[in-house]
């Protein structure tokens, strides 16, 4: 619940306009850390902030701190291509991502913060017979799971995206696509800031510039964390640190089945509205949408090597742009403005780990790899349940770390390995 005095509304806008917008309340406090908390969440990105928000809202646990070594939403939350969809192949993952999609639909109202979720549809192109067979299989699986999905023909693709190159003479012609109309994009910063504000108003302490340097474990149970601002005690520590999860795990003396890779994305100069949906292609590895500012948002692939450097190699970007230019010849003279890399924690089965660990009171939510943004609300929601009850949320049960020992993997490479 947002404090009625601080609620954003037409009325508050009017009220502040009378005072020349000079005394808007701070969006969140910046408290000093207390000596101890019931729950410490390490990592102030979208997933961590969402976890804090749902811990406070759904489970009444408000003695919570979110520790962020940089600034809120400054890691992968600020570095993704903001695509939201739920058309995953397997039952386990489609339920999880569809749960997130349900939450996206009411999120702006729930948070009283405009996350600019735009359900403009997401299209995955097929370029050969096998692609189309895979697409049909996935669409059928989606429909059985109640997810809105359809197979498009080349003509239907062209009707939705008139600027696409539907020539059958190109190296990778478009033979059709899968289509999730309820998918779309959201504003990444607003998601982090909305959850941060919501959590803060429920009493969660958001502590920035506070790097966790060690996880303190005594007799197999967590007692707190050492940070750049001193020791902070906690009964439970929940790590939501994406690419740095392996580093966090090693502090607690455990290993994770993760490898961290740079994943690059780039945006063009702003242009007039030209593409009003999201077009993705796994086979040629390219995906593009247009932001509200008008820039084309383009995702490249991961660099094959392990890396924490938040940058990657140029040939990966070149590869993506050559595919984009073949699909959209008219983009060939658009200049690219900025490119960046985020560090993604890839899992062997391209599915996340939402799990307790062998250390009591230590939880991990990681392994989202290349496609975590879309799951932000659902991830936080089920992880909050897992932390609050020390027992996995029913939707999170298949995603425990044990699956790498039992062999019960959820192989989502087809639906998740490339596209986001």
Instruction: Note the residues at the interface with other proteins (CB under 8 A).
Output: 244, 246-247, 250, 255-260, 304-309, 313-315, 348, 404-407
CB of 348 to other proteins, least distance (A): 5
CB of 151 to other proteins, least distance (A): 34
* Cβ distance to other proteins smaller for residue 145 or 357: 357
d(CA 343, CA 318): 19
* Cβ distance to other proteins smaller for residue 105 or 308: 308
d(CA 253, CA 299): 34
CB of 354 to other proteins, least distance (A): 17
* Cβ distance to other proteins smaller for residue 159 or 402: 402
Using CA atoms, how far residue 166 sits from 21, 81, 144, 176, in Å, is 50, 24, 30, 10
* Cβ distance to other proteins smaller for residue 244 or 291: 244
Find all residues with CB under 8 Å of 286, minimum gap 6, and list them.
280, 298, 299, 320, 321, 323, 324, 327
Please report which helix (H) or strand (E) contains residue 263, including its range. strand 259-270
* Cβ distance to other proteins smaller for residue 367 or 392: 367
* Cβ distance to other proteins smaller for residue 187 or 403: 403
CB of 309 to other proteins, least distance (A): 6
Q: How many CB atoms lie within 10 A of CB 174?
A: 25
Residue 103 CA from chain centroid, whole number:
13
Q: Can you state the angle between helices 188-201 and 376-389, rounded to 10 degrees?
A: 30
CB of 306 to other proteins, least distance (A): 5
* Cβ distance to other proteins smaller for residue 166 or 259: 259
Q: Which two tokens stand for residue 63?
A: 């003695």
CB of 358 to other proteins, least distance (A): 10
Can you say whether the dihedral through the CA atoms of 48, 53, 54, 55 is positive or negative?
A: positive
Residue 112 dihedral angles phi and psi, to the nearest 5°: 50, 45
Q: Which two tokens stand for residue 90?
A: 């397997």
Q: Which two tokens stand for residue 190?
A: 């607003």
CB of 413 to other proteins, least distance (A): 14
């Amino acid at each position: 619940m947002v404090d009625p005095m601080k609620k954003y509304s037409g009325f508050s806008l009017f009220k502040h306009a009378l005072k020349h917008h000079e005394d808007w309340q701070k969006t969140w406090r910046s408290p000093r850390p207390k000596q101890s908390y019931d729950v410490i969440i390490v990592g102030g990105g979208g997933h961590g902030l969402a976890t804090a928000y749902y811990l406070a809202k759904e489970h009444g646990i408000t003695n919570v701190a979110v520790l962020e070594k940089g600034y809120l939403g400054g890691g992968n939350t600020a570095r993704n291509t903001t695509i939201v969809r739920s058309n995953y192949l397997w039952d386990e993952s489609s339920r999880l991502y569809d749960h997130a999609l349900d939450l996206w639909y009411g999120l702006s109202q729930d948070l009283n913060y405009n996350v600019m979720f735009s359900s403009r549809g997401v299209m995955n192109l097929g370029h050969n017979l096998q692609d189309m067979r895979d697409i049909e299989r996935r669409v059928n699986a989606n429909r059985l799971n109640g997810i809105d999905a359809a197979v498009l023909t080349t003509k239907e693709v062209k009707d939705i995206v008139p600027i696409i190159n539907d020539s059958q003479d190109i190296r990778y012609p478009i033979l059709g696509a899968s289509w999730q109309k309820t998918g779309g994009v959201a504003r990444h910063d607003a998601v982090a800031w909305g959850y941060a504000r919501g959590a803060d108003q429920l009493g969660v302490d958001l502590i920035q510039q506070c790097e966790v340097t060690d996880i303190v474990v005594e007799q197999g149970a967590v007692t707190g964390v050492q940070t750049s601002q001193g020791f902070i005690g906690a009964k439970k520590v929940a790590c939501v640190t994406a690419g740095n999860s392996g580093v966090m795990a090693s502090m607690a003396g455990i290993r994770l089945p993760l490898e961290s890779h740079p994943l690059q994305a780039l945006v063009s100069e702003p242009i007039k509205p030209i593409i009003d949906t999201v077009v993705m292609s796994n086979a040629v590895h390219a995906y593009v949408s247009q932001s509200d500012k008008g820039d084309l948002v383009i995702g490249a692939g991961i660099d094959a090597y392990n890396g924490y450097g938040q940058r990657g190699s140029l040939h990966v970007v070149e590869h993506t742009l050559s595919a984009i230019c073949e699909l959209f010849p008219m983009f060939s003279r658009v200049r690219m403005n900025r490119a960046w890399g985020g560090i993604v924690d890839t899992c062997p089965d391209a599915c996340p780990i939402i799990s307790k660990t062998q250390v009591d009171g230590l939880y991990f939510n990681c392994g989202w790899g290349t496609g975590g943004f879309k799951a932000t609300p659902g991830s936080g929601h089920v992880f909050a349940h897992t932390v609050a009850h020390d027992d996995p949320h029913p939707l999170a049960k298949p995603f425990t770390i044990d699956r790498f020992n039992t062999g019960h993997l959820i192989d989502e490479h087809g639906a998740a390995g490339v596209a986001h």
